[in-house]
Structure 1
Amino acid sequence: MNSRYKLFLGIICLIYSSRVVAQKKHFSLFSPDAKTEVKITAGQTLSYSVTHNQKQVLLPSKLAILLSDGKIIGEDNTVVKTSRRNVNQNVQPLYGMASNYRDAYNEIIIKFKENYDIVFRVFDNGVAYRFRTSLPGRIKVKEEQINYQLTADADAWIQTTNSFQFSYEEQFFKKKISSLIGKPIASLPFVTESNGIKVAITESDLLDYPGYYLTYAGNNTLKGISPKFILKDTIGGQDNFNKLSLLDADYIAETEGIRDFPWRLMILEENDKDLLYNNLVYLLASENKIEDTSWIKPGKVSWDWWNANNLTGVDFKSGFNTATYKYFIDFAAENKLEYIMMDEGWSDQFDLLKVNDGSVVTSGTTALSGTLDMPYLFNYAKQKGVGIILWCVWHTLDRQMIEALDQFQKWGVKGVKVDFMNRDDQTVVCFYERLAKETAKRKMIIDFHAAYKPTGLERTYPNILNFEAVQGLEWNKFSEVDILTQATILPFTRMLAGPMDYTPGGLYNSNLIDYRKSFFRPMTLGTRCNQLAMFTMYYAPFEMLADAPTAYQKEPEILAYLAAMPNTWDDTIPLEGKIGDHAVIARRKGSTWHIAGLNNWTGKNVKIKFDFLDAGDYQATIFSDGINANRIGSDYKKTTQKIDKASSLEIQMANGGGFAIKLEKIK
C-alpha cells in the first residue's frame, strides 16, 4: 500500500470519526439545591452519571430497551429536541406519612428522532429516569438494560431470591455487591453506598410491565433483570395457593407502543437516619384515578389468623363460627377499631362462593366448631359500625373476580386481603391494577399479601391501603428464624418503597433463649415495647392488631394505647438511627406526637431531643423496657412526665427492645 493511499484512508477515518463524535451530545441537570448533578450522554449509546456534593456516586451507566423485532431504544440516538422545567409544589396525599409531600425537582426531556424520549428528574435526595415511547401498535420488550456502575465493591443490605416466583419474604443481609454474581438475585429496594453516599435503588409507577431485580455484572456494576412473560402456568406451590410457570416467553412484556415505562429511582442520602423518611416512590407514581375517594378509610384491624382464633374466658368454642366473629366485632366496636379480618378458613379457598360449613381444612387442621352465618355477621357489623375484610387466594379471586366481588358487595364487605401472588411478572402486575379498578367500583379496599414491593400503586388507586412484601410477624408462627434482627433493617430498606403490613402487636414476648415457634400459640421475639414501637415506626394505613381480643383485654394499658394509635400522619421526622442497629422516629397526628425506637439484640441508651416540638408543654406517656425485660420480654414500665421543646430524655433499650412515647399538648 503506497503512502498516498494510506494518507487517503487516514483522512476518511478521521472524517468518519469526527462525525461520530459530533453526533454525541451531552446534557447536565442539577437538583434544586444544586448538590446533585446528572450528566447524560446521547450518541451511539445512551448513558448517565451522578455526582452528589461533588462526589462521584454513579459512573457512566448504559440505558436501553431491546425489542423483540431487533429495535434497540437507546442506541444510535439522534436528538431532535430537549425541554426543561423546574417544579416546586406540595402534593397532598389522601393519606400518608405527612399531610403534605414536597415535590421539588428539575426535569429534562430528551426527544429522539426514533420516536422515543428519555425523561430525567433530579430531586434534592434522588435521581429518577424513565423511557417514553411513541411506537405504532403493540410491542414486545425482550429486555430492558438497567445498569448502575458504582465507585467500588461496596457493602449493601441485600434481600436475595433464587427465583422470580418469590414473595419478598426473605431477610436482608449485609454483603458486598459482588456477592450477587450469578445466582441469587436481589430484590428491591436495594440499599448500598457509593463514595460515602447512601444509595437506595428501587422503581415507581410499575404498570402493565414486570418488576425488576439486581444481579452483578462485574466492574462494580449492578444490572437489572426482569421475569419473563409467562405463557402458561399451573396451580401449585404452598397448599396450591400459588400459580407456577410452565412455559416462559423469550420476552418480558407485551404492551402498547405508546406508553411511559416505569421510573428507575436512586435515592441519595448522606446519613442512615434520613432513609427513615422518603416519599419519592409515591411522588413519581401516576396520580389518583378514583374520582370519589370519600369512602376510602384507613384504620386498624382486629385480626384472627395470627392468634388462631384463640379466645379465652368466653362461653363458646372459638373458631370459624358466628359466635367468634361476633366477639371480634364487639371488641372492635368497643375500642373504635375500624375493621375485623376474616382470614384463611372462612370459605373454600378455591371457591369464594362456598362459605365454611365446619368441614373446611385450613393450615393442616380442621376448622373448629360450627358454621358462619355471613348475612347475620355483616348486618351485625354494620349496626356496630365495623367493617369486615375477607381473605382470598389470588388466583381464585382472579378466576371468580366479578361474581365474587358482586357477592361480597351484597354482603357488605369493606375490603379484601389478597394472598399468595408471589410473583411480579407482567401478568400479576396487571392483576393488581385490574383488581384495584373492580374493587373501587364496589367501594372496597385492598391489602396485598405475599406481594411484591410497593411501587406507588397506592397513589394511583388509593383503595390499596397496604402491602406485605416483608418477613413479618407471621414468621413467628412457623419458623425459628431470627426476624427481630430485621426489625432495625426494614425501616431503612423495605420501608423506602411504601406501606408495610408487618402485622405487629403480639403480647407473648420472648428473648432468644426462651423462644420457640408455635402455630397456634405464637410468641414474638423481643420485648413488649419492641412490639409497641412498630406501630409508629412501620407505616401502615391498614394496621393489624395481631393478638386475640381477649389477650388485649387482659392488658388494658396496652389496649388503650394501641386503640388510640393513628394509622396515617400529618408529619414525620427521622431522629436517629443506624441500619441494623437501631432506629428512632417521630410522627405527628394533629397536635399529638408519637415517638418510637427499635433496637437490635444489643442493649443501648438513646437520647431524644424534643426541639422539633411547638412551644408549650406536652404530657408524655412513656412505655419503656422494664428492668427485667432481657429475661422476660413482656416486662415494661409506663411513666408520665411533662416535656417541652427544650427537654431531652435518655431511654434505655433492652436487648431486642424498644420504646413508645405519646406526647399530648397541654392546653
Structure 2
Amino acid sequence: MNIKQILFFVVAVLLFSMETFAQRQFNLSSPDGRVTVKVEVGDDIKWSASLDGKPVILPGSVSMAVNKDILGKKPVLLSQSRRQINNRITVDVPRKNKTEQDLCNELLLQFKNNYSLIFRAYNEGAAYRFETKYKNEVLVENEDVNLSFNPGSQVFFPEEESIISHYERSYIDTALASLSLGRFCSLPVLVTSGGVRVLVTEADLFDYPNLFLSATAGNSLAAKFPPVLLQADPGKRPDRDEKIVKEADYIARTSGTRTFPWRVFTITDDDRKLAESDMVFKLSRPVAINDTKWIKPGKVAWDWWNANNIYGVDFEAGLNTATYKYYIDFAAKYGLEYIILDEGWSKTTTDLTAPNPDINLEELISYGKSKGVGVILWMLWKPLDQNMEKHLDQFVKWGAKGIKVDFMQRADQYMVNYYERVARECAKRQLLVDFHGAFKPSGLHRAYPNVMSYEGLKGAENNKWGKLITPDHNLTLPFIRMVAGAMDYTPGAMINANKVSFRDIFDNPMSMGTRCHQFAMYVVYESPLQMLADNPTHYYKEPESTEFISKMPVTWDETRVLDAKVSDYILVARRKGAKWYAGAMTDWTPRTLTLDCSFLPPGNYKIEMMQDGVNAGRNGNDYKKVVQKITNGSKLVLNLAAGGGWAGIIEKAD
C-alpha cells in the first residue's frame, strides 16, 4: 500500500469515526433501573423515556434558537460525561419532608458552539435542560420542546384561553389526540401514556419565561412561550391590568453563560408516588439567602373570602379597625400566627403608603403583636413594582410580617424576574411572600424560602361565583398542581353542601362536599401559609371543628401517600415531630378506604378523628368526632360520603 492509499485509508477511518460519533446513542437509567432515558444525537437531538422497558415518552427533538443560531440542529458532539448525584437536602420550610434525598444519574453532553445538554434520571422521573457558555448577553428566539406519547394517551389539560392568565384552570380529562391544533395549556399538565402517568412541569425557572404546551391534533405537545413584552398600555382596570401593545420576536434577553430551566417529567405507574414527588424542589437552585431562621410559617385568618361578614358584635362589620381586631382576637384564641388584610386596607389600590382612614393600621399591627398575631398585607403587583423598596420599607416600619401580591397574570421573562425581585427584597427585610393571581411554583421557593405559597390554581374563592370547585376538581390538585409546589387554595369552609343544595353566594360562600372534606385538606394540601378562609363568627360557632383545624401543622417532617387515584381519592399520612396526621378525600363517589397504621412505630396510640356523619351525603355539615386507641397493627375502615373526607391526629397514648 503506497502513501496515497494509506492517507486515503486514514482519512476514511477518521470520517467514519466522526460520522459514527455524530450518530451516537446514549442510555441513562435511574438508580433503581426502572426509568430509562435514551438520547440520540444525529442531524438533531432526540430523547425518549421508558418505564420498565415500556416506552412512555416517544422520541422527540429538542433545540434552542439563540442569536439566530439553532442549538441542537446539526450538532457536533465534543464530549460526554456521567455522574451519580446522591445528596441529602435539609429543607428550610418543608412542604413534604424535612430532608429530601436528591438521588439520580446524570448525563452531560457537550457540543461545539458552547452549549451542553444535561439529562437526569430519577427513580421518580426524568429531566433535561440546556446550558450555554457565551461571553456576552444573548437573545433566545425560541426553545423547542416536543413531547410525543403513545397512541391513545389521555390528558388532564389545564386549557388556557390566553397567554395572559392567572393559571386558574379546570383540568379537562380527555384524549390527547382529541385536542385540536393550537389549543394550549399552562403547566403542570398530566398525561397518561401507555397506562403510565407523566406529569410535565419545569424547575429552576429564573430570568426566562414560563413554558406553555400546545396541542398538535395528535398524541404530542409542543412548546409555546410568552415573548418579551416591549410596550403595554393600561387595561380596563389600570391598577392591575395591562393591554399588550408590542412584543419582541424573542422570548428572553439573558446572560450568555447560564443554565436554563429544567424540563421536568415525573414518570410513574403508581398515583401515590405522583403525589409524593418533589422533583421541582430537588432540581431548583439552593438557598440564596444567608439567614432563614426568622421565617415563620403558620395559619392565617383570611377576610376576603367571607367578605368580613362577622355578626353578633356591637360594631358595624367591614373594612375598619374594630373588625380586624375581631380577626386578631379570633386568631389569638386558636393559636393562628397571622391575619391577612386583603383588598381595602389601603386608601386606594395604587397608593400603598396611605391606609384606609377607617383602619388605624399601626394600632392594629401593634394590637396583633400584643396578642402574638402578625399582619400580612395584600397588594396589587403594579403599584408594588413601581416603587418596591420604598413600599417594603414602609411595611417594615409599620411592623407587617409579610405581603400577599396579586393579579400578576403574566408569565413572561419580566414577570419571572419580578417574582424573584419581590422574594429577594422581602427576604432582605424579613418579610414573608404569598403570590396570588400567580403562575405555578417553579423552584423559587427553594432559593427563597420566605416565599410561602402560590395560588396558580382554581381554588376555593371560585365558590363565591360558580360551581366549578367540585370534589372531583379538588381530587385533581394533589396529583397535578401540587406536584409543582405549595398551593394557596384557601380551605376551611364551614357551610358545606352537596350537589343539590350548593349555591354560589358571593358574600356568604359555601363549599361543595362535606365538612370532613375540608378538614382533610389541612393534611392533604400543602401550604406553609395555610388559610382559614371562612368567617370567624362561623368558626366561633363551631368550636369543635375550629379546635381540630387549629391543631394542624403547616410544615411536615415526613409524608407518605398511602392510597390514591388521580381525580378520585387520596389518603395521606404526614408526621410532625412525634405526632402523625392523616387525611382522606373522595370525589362525588362514596368510598370505603382503609387506614393501615403500619407506618407508625411500635407502641400504643390515641387517634382523634373527624369522620363524615351518617347524613353527610344529604347535609355536608354532618360529621362525627371519634377518639380511640390504636397500634401500628390497627386497620381503620374509613367510610367517606359523596364529596366526603376524613382526618385524624395520632399521638402516643398516655
Question: TM bucket by the smaller chain?
Answer: over 0.9
Q: Is residue 2:127 matched to residue 1:139?
A: no
Cα distance change on mapping 1:237 and 1:191 into 2, 3 Å: farther
What secondary structure sits across from 1:65 in the alignment?
A: strand
CA contact (8 A) 1:30 1:106 kept: yes
**Which residue in the other structure is 2:221 paired with?**
222
CA contact (8 A) 2:459 2:469 kept: no
Q: Is residue 2:450 matched to residue 1:452?
A: no
Instruction: Pick from 535, 555, 559 the counterpart of residue 546 of structure 2.
Output: 559
Cα distance change on mapping 1:172 and 1:218 into 2, 3 Å: closer
Instruction: Pick from 88, 93, 96 the counterpart of residue 95 of structure 1.
Output: 93
Cα distance change on mapping 1:238 and 1:620 into 2, 3 Å: farther
RMSD (Å) for aligned C-alpha atoms: 1.8
Give the deviation of 1:240 after TM superposition.
Answer: 4.6
Q: Is residue 2:534 matched to residue 1:534?
A: no
Farther off after superposition, 165-174 or 175-184: 175-184
**Which residue in the other structure is 1:473 paired with?**
460
Instruction: Pick from 573, 584, 589 the counterpart of residue 597 of structure 1.
Output: 584
**Which residue in the other structure is 1:211 paired with?**
210
What secondary structure sits across from 1:293 in the alignment?
A: coil
User: Deviations along 1:538-595, whole A, 9 cap, x unmatched?
Assistant: 0010001011222111111111111111000011111112112111111111111111
**Which residue in the other structure is 1:422 paired with?**
409
Give the deviation of 1:18 after TM superposition.
Answer: 8.6
Give the deviation of 1:183 after TM superposition.
Answer: 3.4
User: Deviations along 1:285-309, whole A, 9 cap, x unmatched?
Assistant: 0100010111111100011111111
Cα distance change on mapping 1:645 and 1:199 into 2, 3 Å: same
**Which residue in the other structure is 2:349 paired with?**
349
Give the deviation of 1:156 after TM superposition.
Answer: 1.0
**Which residue in the other structure is 2:187 paired with?**
188
Instruction: Pick from 71, 74, 79 the counterpart of residue 73 of structure 1.
Output: 71
**Which residue in the other structure is 2:311 paired with?**
312
Distance 1:465 1:34 in 2: 35
Distance 1:305 1:214 in 2: 33
- Residues 23-172 of structure 1: pairs in structure 2 closer than 5 A: 23-67=22-66, 69-96=67-94, 97-172=96-171
Cα distance change on mapping 1:15 and 1:615 into 2, 3 Å: closer
Farther off after superposition, 44-53 or 255-264: 44-53
Instruction: Pick from 508, 523, 540 the counterpart of residue 495 of structure 2.
Output: 508
Cα distance change on mapping 1:180 and 1:583 into 2, 3 Å: same
Give the deviation of 1:326 after TM superposition.
Answer: 1.2
Give the deviation of 1:649 after TM superposition.
Answer: 1.1
**Which residue in the other structure is 2:418 paired with?**
431
Instruction: Pick from 525, 544, 557 the counterpart of residue 512 of structure 2.
Output: 525
Percent of pairs identical after alignment? 41
Distance 1:511 1:71 in 2: 57
Distance 1:237 1:270 in 2: 46
Letter aligned with residue 353 of structure 1: T
What secondary structure sits across from 2:257 in the alignment?
A: strand
Cα distance change on mapping 1:133 and 1:22 into 2, 3 Å: closer
Give the deviation of 1:16 after TM superposition.
Answer: 8.3
CA contact (8 A) 1:471 1:483 kept: no
User: Deviations along 1:485-512, whole A, 9 cap, x unmatched?
Assistant: 2011111111110100110001011111
Give the deviation of 1:224 after TM superposition.
Answer: 1.4
**Which residue in the other structure is 2:531 paired with?**
544
What secondary structure sits across from 2:439 in the alignment?
A: coil
**Which residue in the other structure is 1:178 paired with?**
177
Give the deviation of 1:422 after TM superposition.
Answer: 1.0
Give the deviation of 1:21 after TM superposition.
Answer: 4.9
Distance 1:238 1:664 in 2: 51
Q: Is residue 2:417 matched to residue 1:442?
A: no
Distance 1:480 1:183 in 2: 28
Distance 2:352 2:567 in 1: 42
Give the deviation of 1:406 after TM superposition.
Answer: 1.1
User: Deviations along 1:507-537, whole A, 9 cap, x unmatched?
Assistant: 0111111111111111111110011111111
What secondary structure sits across from 1:535 in the alignment?
A: helix
Give the deviation of 1:467 after TM superposition.
Answer: 0.3
Distance 1:234 1:614 in 2: 61
Give the deviation of 1:618 after TM superposition.
Answer: 1.1
Letter aligned with residue 126 of structure 1: G
User: Deviations along 1:351-387, whole A, 9 cap, x unmatched?
Assistant: 1112113xxxxxxxxxxxxx01111111112222211
Q: What's the TM-score once normalised by structure 1's chain length?
A: 0.94
CA contact (8 A) 2:124 2:273 kept: no
Give the deviation of 1:441 after TM superposition.
Answer: 0.9
Q: What's the TM-score once normalised by structure 2's chain length?
A: 0.95
What secondary structure sits across from 2:354 in the alignment?
A: strand
Give the deviation of 1:639 after TM superposition.
Answer: 0.7
Farther off after superposition, 300-309 or 476-485: 476-485
Give the deviation of 1:238 after TM superposition.
Answer: 5.8
**Which residue in the other structure is 2:397 paired with?**
410
Cα distance change on mapping 1:517 and 1:218 into 2, 3 Å: closer
Give the deviation of 1:20 after TM superposition.
Answer: 4.4
Distance 1:282 1:532 in 2: 27
Distance 1:17 1:98 in 2: 51
Distance 1:468 1:621 in 2: 31
Distance 1:18 1:409 in 2: 65
Distance 2:58 2:64 in 1: 20
User: Deviations along 1:200-227, whole A, 9 cap, x unmatched?
Assistant: 1110011000011111235522111111
Farther off after superposition, 481-490 or 556-565: 481-490
What secondary structure sits across from 1:356 in the alignment?
A: coil
Distance 1:309 1:438 in 2: 31
User: Deviations along 1:377-404, whole A, 9 cap, x unmatched?
Assistant: 1111222221100000111111121111
CA contact (8 A) 1:349 1:392 kept: yes
* Number of residues of Structure 1 aligned to a counterpart in Structure 2: 642
Distance 2:233 2:523 in 1: 40
**What 5-or-longer segments of structure 1 have no aligned partner?**
1-11, 358-370
Letter aligned with residue 84 of structure 1: R
Letter aligned with residue 442 of structure 2: T
Q: Is residue 2:324 matched to residue 1:325?
A: yes
